[in-house]
């Protein structure tokens, strides 16, 4: 009599309604059963990293993460590999440790998605898995031990290794002037970010007076791409109350940054990406279709002009774009080039080793929040300008985004399909946002990811279903921030 059941991961995944999103597996906590988590990790090691004998594992601060980690550790053991349990740490810290030690990694995190959900991210020894790897994992047949749920329930997590987090801190300490934050007051919006302690340590090491803001032990999902009105007001209030030079924060797993200027205004993630790209003197950059067109406008100022490539939304697509740009640079015979990527949520990816302040910044092709935070603070120090002035030469192009929550993905897809197919429906939506005596028309459509409509007045409207949760996402770009914010609100109000 067999002591295990063999099943295809996709079969079990479909039964429970859990699947890969824009970055990693995502699902309701109740559906992330020990059997399903075990199956995903077992298939990852079996299909993607079959020769690995060590696997690093980390978690975020969601209350469901430790139990999911136990199931993942059981899968690693069943695969015949040893595990290194790194405990609670930022996702990029685990990924960096994985790459530096040539081993795969598994991160249990739901990133910014709602509290009742969680997920798993997978890393090969050379970085984040690809969409092809995702398909291989889903198609894998795995054996799941009988009685696994009880085994996981009785399991105790191993002792935490701090090697990964220490390595991550060392990645940054030599890159920037050691006194760059001397005399600066930096607020850290801690909430339930797994990166809160390492960020405070780094800021203090560079000389800042660190002000801790709103540390909580219950998990709160913070979306750096769609900052809530409550968090916008908190930034303004904290800046005045504590006389801060900046406020910094991240999402739950520490791969997306949130940075405010000296007045408490949060910077958009796609503008952070341009600032970082400029600071690093990057020659090639990959970014998703929804980021600000300042990317191209700034790139034209470089000599030679910076090459950029637009991708679908999601870090696997940005990573594939960086790889494409690197191949292009090599085939063109370029002796010196650097490749980075970034997303609208502020996450910054380093696709190739590059020199920063005469030091080597090693490649980390996964989203990171710490590097962009430190770059913006370093720019402010080196240029002797407040953070709010760093973008003063940028073209006046402003973006905003928000979403409708709890809307079935199929409903979002149908709405977008109807808009694409019907000029009348496009006109109907545009009529709801047009100013008095203004006639708006769609002059071009980009279907790289969802429906991105460029209008005759220069505005851009982009709608797509979220890849992580049942949400309809809306992105808008125009030449005025207040107008952009208003458009997002009007579009989402009338979209359904």
Q: Which residues are catalytic?
A: 111
Residue of 174, 202, 177, 186 lying closest to 387 (CA atoms):
186
| Selection from 108, 43, 30 nearest residue 70 by Cα | 108
- The answer to whether the beta carbons of residues 186 and 209 sit under 8 Å apart is yes
In 129-217, the DSSP E strands lie at 141-145, 185-191, 209-215
**Residue given tokens 């020659």 in the structure block:** 283
Distance of alpha carbon 369 from alpha carbon 346, whole angstroms: 7
Q: Are strands 185-191 and 398-404 parallel, antiparallel or unpaired?
A: unpaired
Return the bridge partners of 349, or none. 341
- What span, in angstroms and rounded, lies between the C-alpha atoms of 453 and 462? 6
Six-digit token string for 255: 């791969």
Nearest to 405 by CA among 468, 343, 339: 468
Rounded distance between C-alpha atoms, residue 337 and residue 322, angstroms: 12
Start-end of H helices in 54-102: 65-78, 91-100
Under DSSP, the state recorded for 312 is -
Look up residue 30 and give its DSSP letter: G
Please give the structure tokens belonging to residue 493: 């109000």
* Contact criterion met (CB below 8 Å) for 376 and 277: no
- For residue 84, what are its two tokens? 């290194």
Residue 158: name the closest of 240, 56, 44 by CA.
56
* CA gap 61, 110 in Å, rounded: 10
- Cβ 340 vs Cβ 280: under 8 Å: yes
How far is the C-alpha of 351 from the C-alpha of 372, rounded, in Å?
Answer: 15
Cα distances (angstroms) measured from residue 225 to each of 209, 257, 258, 348: 27, 9, 9, 13
Q: Which of 417, 418, 412 is nearest to 470 (CA)?
A: 412
Maximum Cα interatomic distance, the chain, rounded to a whole number of Å? 78
Those residues with Cβ within 8 angstroms of residue 94's Cβ, 6 or more apart along the chain or in another chain: 56, 57, 58, 86, 105, 107, 123, 164
d(CA 287, CA 340): 9
Q: Are strands 284-288 and 364-368 parallel, antiparallel or unpaired?
A: unpaired
Bond into 304 cis (ω within 30): yes
């Amino acid at each position: 009599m067999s002591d295990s059941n063999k099943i295809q991961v996709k079969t079990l995944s479909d039964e429970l309604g859990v699947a890969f999103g824009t970055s990693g597996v995502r699902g309701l906590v109740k559906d992330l059963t020990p059997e399903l988590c075990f199956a995903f990790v077992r298939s990852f090691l079996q299909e993607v990293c079959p020769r690995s004998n060590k696997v690093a594992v980390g978690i975020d601060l969601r209350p469901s993460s430790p139990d999911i980690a136990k199931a993942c550790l059981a899968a690693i053991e069943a695969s015949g590999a040893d595990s290194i349990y790194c405990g609670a740490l930022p996702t990029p810290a685990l990924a960096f440790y994985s790459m530096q030690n040539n081993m795969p990694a598994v991160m249990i995190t739901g990133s910014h998605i709602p509290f009742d959900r969680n997920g798993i991210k997978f890393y090969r020894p050379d970085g984040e898995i690809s969409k092809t790897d995702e398909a291989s994992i889903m198609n894998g047949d795995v054996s799941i031990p009988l009685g696994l749920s009880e085994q996981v329930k009785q399991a105790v997590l191993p002792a935490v290794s701090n090697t990964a987090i220490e390595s991550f801190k060392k990645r940054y300490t030599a890159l920037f002037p050691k006194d760059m934050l001397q005399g600066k007051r930096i607020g850290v919006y801690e909430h339930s970010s797994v990166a809160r302690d390492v960020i405070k340590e780094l800021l203090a090491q560079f000389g800042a007076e660190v002000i801790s803001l709103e540390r909580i032990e219950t998990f709160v999902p913070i979306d750096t791409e769609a900052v809530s009105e409550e968090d916008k007001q908190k930034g303004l209030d904290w800046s005045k109350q504590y006389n801060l030079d900046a406020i910094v924060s991240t999402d739950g797993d520490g791969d997306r940054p949130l940075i405010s200027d000296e007045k408490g205004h949060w910077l958009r993630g796609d503008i952070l990406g341009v600032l970082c790209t400029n600071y690093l003197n990057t020659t090639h950059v990959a970014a998703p279709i929804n980021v600000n067109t300042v990317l191209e406008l700034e790139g034209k100022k470089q000599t030679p002009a910076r090459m950029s490539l637009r991708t679908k939304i999601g870090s696997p697509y940005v990573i594939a774009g960086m790889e494409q740009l690197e191949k292009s640079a090599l085939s063109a015979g370029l002796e010196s080039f650097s490749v980075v990527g970034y997303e609208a949520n502020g996450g910054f990816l380093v696709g190739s080793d590059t020199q920063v302040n005469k030091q080597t910044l090693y490649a980390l092709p996964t989203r990171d929040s710490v590097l962009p935070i430190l770059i913006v603070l370093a720019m402010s120090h080196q240029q002797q300008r407040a953070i709010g002035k760093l973008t003063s030469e940028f073209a006046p192009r402003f973006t905003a985004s928000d979403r409708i929550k709890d809307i079935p993905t199929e409903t979002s897809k149908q709405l977008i399909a109807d808009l694409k197919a019907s000029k009348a429906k496009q006109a109907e939506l545009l009529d709801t946002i047009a100013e008095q005596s203004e006639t708006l028309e769609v002059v071009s459509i980009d279907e790289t990811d969802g429906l991105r409509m460029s209008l005759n007045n220069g505005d851009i409207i982009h709608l797509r279903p979220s890849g992580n949760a049942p949400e309809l996402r809306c992105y808008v770009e125009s030449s005025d921030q207040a107008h952009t914010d208003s458009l997002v609100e009007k579009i989402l109000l009338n979209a359904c």
